[in-house]
Amino acid sequence: MTPIQPSRRPLAPEAERLNVAGLPVEWRPDRESVRLRMFNPEDSRLFVPRLFGAGWDVNLGAVAVRLGLLRPDDTLADLAGYVPQHTATALRVLPWIGAASAVATAARGWRAASRFPTNWDATFRPSSFGPPLLALGIPAVLAVGIALWSTTPRAPALIAKPADPTADDDTPAALDLAHAQRGGLPAATNAPRASEDVAAPPQDPDEPTASTPDDDASVDILRHAIASGTAFAAAAVIAVSVASARAPRKRNPWILAAVGAYPTITAGLTVGALRSALANVRTTLRGQGS
């Protein structure tokens, strides 16, 4: 029986950040170590330096662990290669559904009023207004932009790669490209393909394996989850703005739900993908055992 190994390749150490007046400042949101920071179950800190800009973000991975939804070592890096095909497809499509919802909601509400709320006070009443281009157009463009970002060619981010156990030096396995070419990894390169719904077990280490960074299974879970969360949150904000424009003096607590949609959807999709990957690993293990 070939053991199924977690498809991790160790992350490069996090590069130094700028600190301004005690606040961490981040300007490289597409770096793997930065991106994974906002969903890192191994890190027990609830607040981590922001993905982009100054300040801190919530570590949604730590929240998921505290809620008992994941274990601390259920990491994206280890499980990305085992995400089933149908989950990977859904993750790719969702940002576009969110973006389409945002555009459709903005188009439908465009003529509902001449001024739309752009801000709400602590009692959920609209506190400032702007033209539709500002209140509806910008969130819609943001939703489309983030959906586009989610489809840009993938960096070799979550292509996992285990440490070479036979290596004598301390070189991080991530740099050991020869190992990848030998096929001795159960990572994204050996992950489930479109034609199969379970992760393929690691191949014979002596057998060469083609490296396929665009393999359907090596979906960048977090990027698609972030894009989906942002696009659906933008659609929700637009819907709330249109509703508040129709009744500008009324409180609209739905704005809270609209803003909360971003972390909820991002974390929910990531946890869901990881759990489906775990189920996939279990199916494969049972298949090997029978």
Partner 1 sequence: MAGKRSESPSQLRKGVLDLAVLTILARTPTYGGDLLESLAERPGLHITSGTLYPLLTRLRASGLIEATWQESPVGPPRKFYALTTKGRRTHADLIAQWRELSAAMNHLLEEHR
- Residues engaged in binding partner 1 (CB under 8 A): 3-6, 8, 10-11, 41-45, 65, 71-74, 78, 162-168, 170, 172-173, 275, 278-279, 281-282, 285-286, 289
Note whether 41 and 71 are within 8 A (CB). Answer: yes
What is the closest distance, in whole angstroms, from the C-beta atom of residue 175 to partner 1 in the complex? 11
CA distance 201 to 1: 9
CB of residue 44 to partner 1, shortest distance in Å: 3
The structure tokens listed for 129 are: 């207004």
Rounded to a whole number of angstroms, the minimum distance from the CB of residue 237 to partner 1 is 35
Pick between residue 11 and residue 233 the one whose CB is nearest to partner 1.
11
Select 36 or 106, whichever has its Cβ closest to partner 1: 36
List all residues 6 or more positions away from 236 whose beta carbon is below 8 Å from its beta carbon: 254, 257, 258, 261
Q: How far is the CB of 183 from partner 1 (least distance, A)?
A: 16
Cβ nearer to partner 1, comparing 111 with 168: 168
Alpha helices, DSSP H only, in 14-116? 32-35, 60-66, 76-79, 85-109
Q: Closest approach of Cβ 81 to partner 1, in Å?
A: 11
The residues near 74 (Cβ < 8 Å, ≥ 6 apart) are 41, 274, 278
Cβ-based nearer residue to partner 1, 79 or 226 = 79
* Closest approach of partner 1 to the CB of residue 59, in Å: 11
CB of 15 to partner 1, least distance (A): 16
Residue whose CB is less far from partner 1, 99 or 267 = 267
Q: What's the Cα-to-Cα distance from 237 to each of 64, 103, 136, 198, rounded to whole Å?
A: 25, 12, 8, 38
CB of 164 to partner 1, least distance (A): 6
Compute the C-alpha angle 270/31/259, nearest 5°.
Answer: 45
> Are the C-beta atoms of 271 and 69 separated by less than 8 Å?
yes
Q: Which is nearer to partner 1, 173 or 259 (CB)?
A: 173
CA trace torsion 272, 278, 284, 285 (10° rounding)? -160
The DSSP result for 114-166, as a single string, is SSEEEEE-TTS-EEEEE-HIIIIIHHHHHHHHHHHHHHSPPPS-S------TT
Cα distance between residue 263 and residue 161, in whole Å: 28
Coil vs helix vs strand at 232: helix
Residue 146 or 187 with smaller CB distance to partner 1: 187
Q: How far apart are CA 111 and CA 200, in angstroms?
A: 53
152 vs 288 by CB, closer to partner 1: 288
Please tell me what DSSP assigns to residue 30: T
